[in-house]
């Protein structure tokens, strides 16, 4: 009798555990699916027991954005009575830009008597769908940047006000949001019954180039994501500032091949923002190589803004040579807060002494606050 009872308990434990595992009912949702850095998001996991016996032990392994970066799991242990359900709410802050595939990955169950433990990898099941969270970079509003074009623009505006014309009019176009009132062609607008603005000849206006380093940072996974996030955030802030001033902007990025975005109006920002939100950091071209290949194009620019995470002697020499020509280089070096490379700090100091604005931006700092404190 004892042997039969023991055998029955063993069989019951095996059958119920396997049944629970392979008929596991769950629902997971993520709100929202698209967020801005700094916003909060919530992962909800619902477990359902529609069977007449208890689920005594269920252990869930799931991922949040931080776990995706660190390649780890969050664990949650619970139980379910017959014909009940259980909800798990995991709220987190979207701290870093990127796309994260998250949610339940594995499930582990035990029987009522603790005889057996079974597990299943849900990520390998055909019915399982991972949740995707896209985090866009936040847009920082800079109060100032040391761009010589801003000074020239101010001089031109004063000259325009005295002559009532900014320059030779190239053509007319319909009004777009954020166009300054001074560019409206009132006579043509009154005649055509629609608002038109003047496009001026800008062939002589210096171009602004932005070069962003997209080589992977050599460090642990979390610090690599923080470096990439800060580079994108700084670039986004600079792009927004330049376009808000209606200055001609060129963004040059090397991945497997050269990629180039250009614009000069505030409404062009969305194109840059969408591209920067999802850009991968997997370039095989060093910054020195890029500066060498772009030397001809950069020699005709007005300003070069360089956003990098590794300072080298070659970059230092390139910037000094540019300064001797008509190019106005500006450097932003992104570094972890605990890293103090004396050689890099020495080069930044010497660049500033040579009239090349150079800034050290830590991953735990905001560019807008840093610029406001320095300039």
- pLDDT-derived band of residue 109, with 50, 70 and 90 as boundaries? confident
The dihedral built from the CA positions of residue 118, 124, 126 and 130, taken in this order, carries a sign that is: positive
| Rounded CA separation 89/46 (Å) | 9
Q: Is a pLDDT exceeding 90 seen at residue 61?
A: yes
Are 185 and 197 within 8 A, CB to CB? yes
| Rounded CA separation 327/347 (Å) | 19
**Mean pLDDT within 107-130:** 83
The domain locations on the chain are 2-136, 168-201, 205-374
Q: Is a pLDDT exceeding 90 seen at residue 159?
A: no
**Mean pLDDT within 222-241:** 95
Lowest mean pLDDT: which of 37-46, 54-63, 169-178? 169-178
Are 115 and 32 within 8 A, CB to CB? no
Pull the structure tokens for residue 194: 């629609």
Q: Is a pLDDT exceeding 70 seen at residue 277?
A: yes
Among 114, 117, 109, which residue's Cα sits nearest to residue 61? Answer: 109
| Rounded CA separation 47/107 (Å) | 11
Pull the structure tokens for residue 52: 């007449």
Helix segments in 164-281, DSSP class H? 186-192, 221-244, 269-277
Pull the structure tokens for residue 95: 């701290």
Among 71, 39, 74, 99, which residue's Cα sits nearest to residue 228? Answer: 99
**Mean pLDDT within 40-45:** 95
Q: What is the pLDDT of residue 185?
A: 78
| CB neighbour burial string for 174-212, b if at least 16 within 10 angstroms, e if fewer | eeeeebeeeeebeeebeeeeeebbbeeeeeebbbbbbbb
To the nearest whole number, what is the mean pLDDT of the chain? Answer: 85
Q: What is the pLDDT of residue 324?
A: 86
Lowest mean pLDDT: which of 116-125, 155-164, 354-363? 155-164
Q: How many CA atoms lie within 13 A of 267 on its CB side?
A: 6
Kindly report the pTM of this predicted structure.
0.80
- pLDDT-derived band of residue 128, with 50, 70 and 90 as boundaries? confident
Q: Are strands 303-308 and 328-335 parallel, antiparallel or unpaired?
A: parallel
- pLDDT-derived band of residue 200, with 50, 70 and 90 as boundaries? low
- pLDDT-derived band of residue 165, with 50, 70 and 90 as boundaries? very low
Question: Percentage of residues in the chain with pLDDT exceeding 90?
Answer: 51
Phi/psi at 175 (5° precision): -65, 140
Helix (H) or strand (E) holding 267: none
Among 253, 311, 263, which residue's Cα sits nearest to residue 284? Answer: 253
What topology does CATH give the domain 205-374? Rossmann fold (3.40.50)
33 DSSP assignment: S
- pLDDT-derived band of residue 214, with 50, 70 and 90 as boundaries? very high
Pull the structure tokens for residue 34: 């698209």
Are 45 and 64 within 8 A, CB to CB? no
CATH architecture of 2-136: Sandwich (2.60)
């Amino acid at each position: 009798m004892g042997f039969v009872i023991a055998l029955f308990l063993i069989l019951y434990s095996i059958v119920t555990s396997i049944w629970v595992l392979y008929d596991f009912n769950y629902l997971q949702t993520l709100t929202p699916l698209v967020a801005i850095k700094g916003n909060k998001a919530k992962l909800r996991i619902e477990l359902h027991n529609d069977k007449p016996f208890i689920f005594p032990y269920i252990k869930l392994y799931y991922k949040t954005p931080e776990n995706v970066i660190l390649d780890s799991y969050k664990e949650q242990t619970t139980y379910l009575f017959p014909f009940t359900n259980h909800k798990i709410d995991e709220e987190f802050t979207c701290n870093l830009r990127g796309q994260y595939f998250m949610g339940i990955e594995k499930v582990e169950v035990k029987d009522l008597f603790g005889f057996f433990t079974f597990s299943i990898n849900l990520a390998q099941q055909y019915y399982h769908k991972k949740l995707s969270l896209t985090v866009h970079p936040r847009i920082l509003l800079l109060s100032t940047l040391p761009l010589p074009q801003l000074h020239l623009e101010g001089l031109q505006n004063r000259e325009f006000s005295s002559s009532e014309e900014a320059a030779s009019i190239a053509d007319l176009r319909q009004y777009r949001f954020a166009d300054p009132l001074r560019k409206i062609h009132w006579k043509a607008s009154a005649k055509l019954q629609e608002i038109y603005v003047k496009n001026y000849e800008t062939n002589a206006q210096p171009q602004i180039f932005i070069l962003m380093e997209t080589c992977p940072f050599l460090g642990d996974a979390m610090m690599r994501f923080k470096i990439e996030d800060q580079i994108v955030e700084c670039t986004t802030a600079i792009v927004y500032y330049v376009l808000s001033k209606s200055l001609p902007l060129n963004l040059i990025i090397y991945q497997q091949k050269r990629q180039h975005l250009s614009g000069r109006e505030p409404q062009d920002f969305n194109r840059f923002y969408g591209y920067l939100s999802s850009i991968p950091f997997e370039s095989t071209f060093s910054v020195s190589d890029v500066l060498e290949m772009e030397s001809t194009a950069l020699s005709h620019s007005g300003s070069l803004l360089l956003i990098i995470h590794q300072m080298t002697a070659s970059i230092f020499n390139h910037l000094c040579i540019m300064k001797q020509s008509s190019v106005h280089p500006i450097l932003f070096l992104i570094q972890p807060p605990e890293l103090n490379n004396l050689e890099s700090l020495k080069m930044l100091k010497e660049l500033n002494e040579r009239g090349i604005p150079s800034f050290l931006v830590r991953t735990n700092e905001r560019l807008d606050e840093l610029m406001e404190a320095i300039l």
